Amino acid sequence: MHTYLKPLWLLSLALTAVGAAAQRSETLLERGWRFTHADDSACVAPSFDDRSWQQVTVPHDWAITGPFSYMNDRQNVAITQDGQKEAMEHAGRTGGLPFVGTGWYRLTFDVPDYRPGRRVELLFDGAMSHPRVYVNGHYAGGWEYGYNAFALDVTPYVKATGNTLAVRLYNETEQSRWYPGAGLYRNVHLVVTDRAHIPTWGVQVLTPRVTDASATVEVRTALSIPGNRDGYRLETEILNPAGRNVSSSSVGLDGTSDSIVYETLLVNRPQRWDLDTPHLYNVVSRLYDGDRLCDSVVTRFGIRTIELVADKGFLLNGRVVKFKGVCNHEDLGPLGMAVNESALRHRLLQLKDMGANAIRTSHNMPSPELVSLCDEMGLMVMAESFDEWRSAKVANG
């Protein structure tokens, strides 16, 4: 199990009743998108006529369809890893596909269960690259890095029905050493919550002490509650892999002001996450205002120990484990960069059949789907953040 954890985007089937009662909804914005390469800023206006644009579904990679050409993103660079001392022309490093340039996406969407006092957020799992986001003609925010998720509070700009979302993306020449894809290549989520809520990525779960008899589970929950907290409380429970409650806690928030609530829970006779037995637990976090449920979030985690010991190496659950891993680029070959859970699962199954037990995400933050699949399938992950930092390996890297 990985050393960082994330909320599940969709509540598990075992918690359907909880999800139905919670004041949170999440919608994948998949269908109904329009796309063009024409760079016309007038398209941010809700009245803009986009009927001539291409109809696409998201996730979408605009470059994978080609056409292929060695002229695409030719790079004049010395590849030091290959021992080159002087810059020379290289073609095909980024797949020979036309990913450089501008693309616009537009979507008309409604906000489920919208009413005054609700908070509306757009969550992008990744967008390649330099996205600029507009809602009903208003600039809502942007991002620079194409590989990691970002969230925007769009509450001031939305209405119940007939909203217009426009996203501009731009890829530079020589911004990568491999094929990075182009466009809204990962999922886009519309998240609606109460004003009092648990923020996106607001729950962290740690397992600092684990024995065969018990495991200490530390849960750190961020809260966003406007105004006075009197009457609010946070209820936390841990569900084992079978969905049964094995530990719980309740914290009253009267008189508190801390942005994070720290809780310590105990799990007896824990089922450890391991390579052959990837047992997974769920933390269910519920925020109440009196008897009213304001928000509910599920966070999946595994109970395991990891150590680095001199003269032994890496220990997982107390035993030496050798990393038998691969460097895994995000693209899916001829399928391109658009995230596809079935294709990811197929690839990971093939790697496991080859004997792999670990994945290094080269050279960027992975998709949530990849991390979840590795959790489920018993694969260790080193999530690499960046290919470059102090010095660039290509001109715009």
For 371-395, how does the pLDDT look when each residue is reduced to its tens digit (9 = 90+)? 999 999 999 999 999 988 888 888 8
Please report the pLDDT score of residue 140 as a whole number: 98
Long-range own/partner contacts, residues 15-19 (CB < 8 A, 24 or more apart):
15/239, 15/282, 15/284, 15/298, 18/284, 18/286, 18/296, 19/296
Q: What's the average model confidence in pLDDT over 343-351?
A: 98
Radius of gyration of the chain from its Cα atoms, rounded to whole angstroms: 23
Q: Which residue has the higher pLDDT, 14 or 212?
A: 212
CB atoms within 10 A of CB 65: 10
- Residue 209 token pair: 């002490």
Q: Which residue has the higher pLDDT, 113 or 233?
A: 233
Please report the pLDDT score of residue 21 as a whole number: 43
pLDDT band at residue 397 using 50, 70 and 90 as cut-offs: confident
| Dihedrals phi, psi of 196, to nearest 5 degrees | -90, 115
pLDDT at residue 256 is higher than 50: yes
pLDDT band at residue 232 using 50, 70 and 90 as cut-offs: very high
Please report the pLDDT score of residue 81 as a whole number: 81
pLDDT at residue 18 is higher than 70: no
Please report the pLDDT score of residue 251 as a whole number: 98
- Residue 226 token pair: 């406007």
- CA dihedral (116, 117, 118, 123) in degrees, to 10, reads 110
Please report the pLDDT score of residue 82 as a whole number: 86
pLDDT band at residue 10 using 50, 70 and 90 as cut-offs: very low
Please report the pLDDT score of residue 3 as a whole number: 39
DSSP 18-76: HHHHSSEEEEE--SSEEEES---GGGGSTT---TTSEEE-SS--SSTT----TTTT-EE
The mean pLDDT value of the chain amounts to 93
- Residue 352 token pair: 């496991």
Tell me the residue type at 308.
L
For 322-333, how does the pLDDT look when each residue is reduced to its tens digit (9 = 90+)? 999 999 999 999
Closest by CA to 140, choosing from 193, 190, 201, is 190
pLDDT band at residue 11 using 50, 70 and 90 as cut-offs: very low
pLDDT at residue 17 is higher than 90: no
Closest by CA to 62, choosing from 179, 190, 177, is 179
Please report the pLDDT score of residue 229 as a whole number: 95
Please state, in angstroms and rounded to a whole number, the distance separating the CA atoms of residues 215 and 223: 25
Kind of pairing between the strands at 358-361 and 380-383: parallel
Please report the pLDDT score of residue 187 as a whole number: 98
pLDDT at residue 14 is higher than 70: no
Please report the pLDDT score of residue 100 as a whole number: 97
Q: What's the average model confidence in pLDDT over 285-294?
A: 97
pLDDT band at residue 7 using 50, 70 and 90 as cut-offs: very low
Q: What's the average model confidence in pLDDT over 251-274?
A: 96
Closest by CA to 132, choosing from 102, 97, 161, 91, is 102
Kind of pairing between the strands at 138-142 and 132-135: antiparallel
